[in-house]
A = this chain, B = another copy of it.
Amino acid sequence: MFKPVMLALSLTVSASAFAAPSNEPIQPIQPAKVTNQAKVELGKQLFFDPRLSKSGFISCNSCHNLSMGGSDNLPSSIGHNWQQGPINSPTVLNSSLNLAQFWDGRAADLKEQAGGPIANPMEMGFTHTLAVDVLQSIPQYRESFKKVYGKNAIDIDQVTDAIAAFEETLVTPNSRFDQWLKGDKKALNKDELAGYQLFKDVGCTACHNGSAVGGNSFQKMGLVEPYATQNPAEGVAGLTGNDADRMKFKVPTLRNVELTYPYFHDGAYWNLEEAVDVMARLQLGRKLEQKQIAQITAFLKTLTGEQPSFALPILPPSTAKTPRPQPFN
């Protein structure tokens, strides 16, 4: 009974994909295909578990809050001991569609990314070894990892793999714009449509394209006119040492951009209208009129998709053997 249903679903998805205008620079977000539910459930627990931090207080969800567009809505994040992070937390939503992770792309994929904050002294302030020790001390975690990975010992590779598997489910299909792309011509109003036309005509789609409306290239922030910022981040140049890579950052996705303020790598702009104005001037040398900005912003708000919906995970309790959190030392 189950297989024919899956087949029908798969045919529906294909039909929808065909319905999307092939000449548009933006493609609809595809729903997540979960192949290993147990791994996703384990990853979800880990994503919400603050015991992966030294303090026992900070989880992945602290800065990539799934109640708030997968971001923390702060210019830069609060880390261990209330340290101020160096850069704006990118949304975890649709992050599986990025060509690489972090603003400078220093992690190839979500699995590699997931290990970063755990061991970063400015963020979760822990070590991979200690995080694994915590998980290994909890019988329910041992059981879940064994079920998913078939090994007797937990290692950091399994931890980051499970977190990445959960994050891959965090896509936001069925936005009003995607409904329009798939053929529902009533899904957008006149201003939103005009905004989309402007978005293409002005040249935004040169970088903000594909299903994530971004996330698939590195570009210089301040191409036509330099970007004025207090933030010392150098972008890709921080990795390559190449002058040509200075201020080159991964183009952020514009999916759910209404939810992921403040904007840019320094989180300096809180209003989407202002961010649109700045981008048009600095990247494209265009001074947009207020009405144009309002229309593009109206279009951008149609990119808010269905937010991931799931029950808050319940975490297995620590045991007498679990290393204790160290919030204040």
Contacts and interface: CB of A to CB of B under 8 A. Distances in A.
Which residue, of A56, A73, A307, A320, has the highest number of chain B Cβ atoms within 10 A?
A73
B72 A48 contact: no
A78 B55 CA distance: 9
A310 interface: yes
B317 A307 contact: no
A291 to B, nearest CB: 17
A329 to B, nearest CB: 10
Contact of A74 (B68, B261, B317, B327): B327
Which residue, of A51, A74, A311, A324, has the highest number of chain B Cβ atoms within 10 A?
A74
Contact of A312 (B81, B273, B310): B310
B82 A56 contact: no
Contacts of A320: 270-271, 273
Interface string A293-329: 0000000000000010111111101101000110110
Interface of A: 48-51, 55-57, 62, 65-69, 72-74, 78, 81-82, 84, 258-259, 261, 270-271, 273, 307, 309-315, 317-318, 320, 324-325, 327-328
A300 to B, nearest CB: 12
A225 to B, nearest CB: 24
15 contacts: A48-B67, A50-B68, A55-B74, A67-B314, A69-B317, A73-B325, A78-B327, A81-B82, A84-B327, A261-B317, A270-B320, A271-B320, A310-B312, A311-B311, A311-B312
A101 B48 CA distance: 27
Contacts of A261: 317-318
A68 B307 contact: no
A82 B58 CA distance: 12
Contact of A56 (B67, B69, B73): B73
Q: How many copies of the polypeptide does the oligomer hold?
A: 2
A67 B315 contact: yes
Nearest to A262: B324
Nearest to A272: B320
A318 B56 contact: no
Which residue, of A50, A312, A315, has the highest number of chain B Cβ atoms within 10 A?
A312
A312 B64 CA distance: 14
B324 A270 contact: yes
A81 B324 CA distance: 22
Contacts of A318: 73, 261, 270
Nearest to A271: B320
Nearest to A63: B57
Contact of A317 (B259, B313, B317): B259
Contact of A315 (B49, B68, B327): B68
A67 B56 CA distance: 13
A313 B271 CA distance: 24
Nearest to A80: B82
Given A82-B82, A270-B320, 5 more contacts: A57-B74, A69-B317, A261-B318, A311-B312, A312-B312
